């Protein structure tokens, strides 16, 4: 199934532009997806009015006086994104990300999901999480990271997913988007993959096949949920100057809770089993912000999550560098 987007001509009139391909497997699950196309020629988001930004589904421009931190971030991301493309999707149902787990395949306990816990553990997540006050759910989350280079010294298949998201700790939903760094080694043959993806659990991973990304690139991702059943996802490869954006609704029977926002390295479930973790060395998340209900949070009150594996061994360990940066270090694969 293909969708269509609008773009402008040189005269400023809108014309129809083929947008990204949406697999039928997604629409069967109840998704409604709108892949947004390129911007008009000579359209400059830095000079656009608020109405023009809204018309082309670009993030609003924060006020420089009342929201200086957000304005600085907006200026940096938007000025470095020189080309916006329509995303092309590939539904990879055999790969699932999903909620944080405790030991084995069990969901994490309510005790670990309490705001203020500084040393939580999970079988599949590692990173930082902000918990929203009661009745004040998160509506957006953003973050930036340098895509790590996948490595392994031993044979096998290894996966690491770097992402930002909302929900998934003590909730059955997760809205998340990020990069995948996967590597397979068999004897002397090594094959690595790096790509962008999104998922609204439990529907499975959706690869964005045409957004260029390589190890070492700086990626920025912003997820804005204006309701519990509608969100816009923005990706920008800050190194390549290429971005994409699209609107989505959740799979059938799922709604957003908004109780937690997170910045995570994850080992996903592949073919029904939790994958071995790619040796990603280190991954920094910076420009970490989340907000909703009239407030903006950074990492000052975040809970740190350590990923553990067989026998409780530490696989991935976070360190909070400051109120906006969390560093994750690989320790072991399983």
- Contact (CB, 8 A) for 180 and 159: yes
Cα angle, residue 321 at apex, residues 233 and 103 outer, rounded to 5°: 70
Domain parsing of the chain, residue ranges? 2-330
Q: Is the peptide bond before 202 cis (omega within 30 degrees of 0)?
A: yes
Residue 118: the pLDDT is: 62
Greatest Cα pair distance in the chain: 65
Residue 5: the pLDDT is: 38
The phi and psi torsions of 52 (rounded to 5 degrees) equal -65, -40
In terms of Cα–Cα distance, which of 87, 223, 226, 90 is closest to 164? Answer: 223
Residue 21: the pLDDT is: 64
CA 246, CA 37: separation in Å to the nearest integer?
9
In terms of Cα–Cα distance, which of 120, 115, 117 is closest to 306? Answer: 120
In terms of Cα–Cα distance, which of 253, 254, 102 is closest to 169? Answer: 102
Give every CB contact of residue 19 below 8 A, 6+ residues apart in sequence: 2, 3, 4, 5, 34, 35, 36, 37, 86, 87
- The two structure tokens encoding residue 137: 């759910």
- Assigned superfamily of 2-330: Peptidase G1 (2.60.120.700)
The phi and psi torsions of 296 (rounded to 5 degrees) equal -130, 130
Q: Supply the DSSP string of 65-114, one letter for each residue.
A: TT-HHHHHHHHHHHHH--EEE---EEEETTEE--S-B-STTPBPPTTTTS
In terms of Cα–Cα distance, which of 56, 53, 59 is closest to 39? Answer: 56
- Contact (CB, 8 A) for 96 and 224: no
Q: Give the CA count within 13 Å in the CB-facing half-sphere of 224.
A: 11
**pLDDT tens digits along 142-154:** 999 999 999 999 9
CA 312, CA 275: separation in Å to the nearest integer?
16
**pLDDT tens digits along 241-286:** 999 999 999 988 999 999 999 999 999 999 999 999 999 999 999 9
Tens digit of each residue's pLDDT, the chain (334 residues):
333 334 343 334 443 444 556 677 777 777 788 999 999 989 999 999 999 999 999 999 999 999 999 999 999 999 999 999 999 999 998 999 999 998 654 445 434 444 445 679 999 999 999 999 888 999 999 999 999 999 999 999 999 999 999 999 988 899 999 999 999 999 989 999 999 999 999 889 999 999 999 999 999 999 999 999 999 999 999 999 999 999 999 988 999 999 999 999 999 999 999 999 999 999 999 999 999 978 899 999 999 999 999 999 999 999 999 999 999 999 999 9
């Amino acid at each position: 199934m293909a969708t269509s987007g609008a773009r402008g001509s040189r005269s400023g009139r809108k014309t129809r532009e083929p947008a990204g391909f949406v697999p039928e497997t997604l629409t069967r699950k109840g998704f409604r997806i709108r892949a947004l196309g390129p911007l008009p020629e000579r359209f400059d988001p830095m000079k656009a009015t608020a109405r023009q930004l809204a018309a082309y589904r670009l993030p609003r421009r924060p006020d420089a006086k009342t929201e200086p931190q957000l304005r600085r971030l907006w200026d940096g991301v938007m000025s470095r994104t020189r080309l916006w493309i329509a995303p092309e999707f590939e539904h990879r149902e055999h790969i699932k990300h999903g909620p944080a787990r405790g030991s084995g395949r069990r969901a994490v306990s309510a005790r670990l999901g309490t705001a203020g816990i500084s040393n939580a553990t999970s079988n599949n997540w590692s990173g930082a999480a902000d918990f929203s006050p009661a009745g004040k759910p998160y509506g957006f989350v953003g973050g930036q990271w340098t895509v790590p280079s996948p490595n392994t010294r031993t044979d096998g298949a290894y996966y690491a997913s770097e992402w930002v998201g909302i929900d998934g700790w003590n909730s059955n939903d997760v809205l998340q988007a990020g990069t995948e760094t996967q590597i397979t080694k068999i004897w002397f043959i090594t094959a690595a993959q790096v790509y962008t993806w999104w998922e609204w659990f439990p529907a499975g991973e959706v690869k964005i096949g045409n957004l260029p990304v390589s190890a070492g690139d700086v990626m920025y991702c912003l997820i804005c949920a204006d309701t519990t059943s509608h969100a816009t996802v923005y990706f920008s490869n800050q190194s390549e100057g290429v971005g994409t954006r699209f609107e989505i609704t959740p799979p059938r029977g799922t709604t957003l809770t908004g109780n937690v926002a997170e910045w995570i390295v994850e080992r996903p479930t592949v073919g029904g089993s939790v994958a071995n973790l790619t040796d990603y060395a280190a991954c920094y998340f910076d420009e970490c912000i989340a907000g909703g209900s009239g407030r903006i949070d950074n990492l000052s009150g975040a809970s740190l999550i350590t990923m553990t594996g067989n026998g409780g061994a530490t696989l991935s360990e976070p360190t909070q560098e400051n109120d906006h940066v969390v560093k994750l270090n690989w320790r072991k694969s399983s």
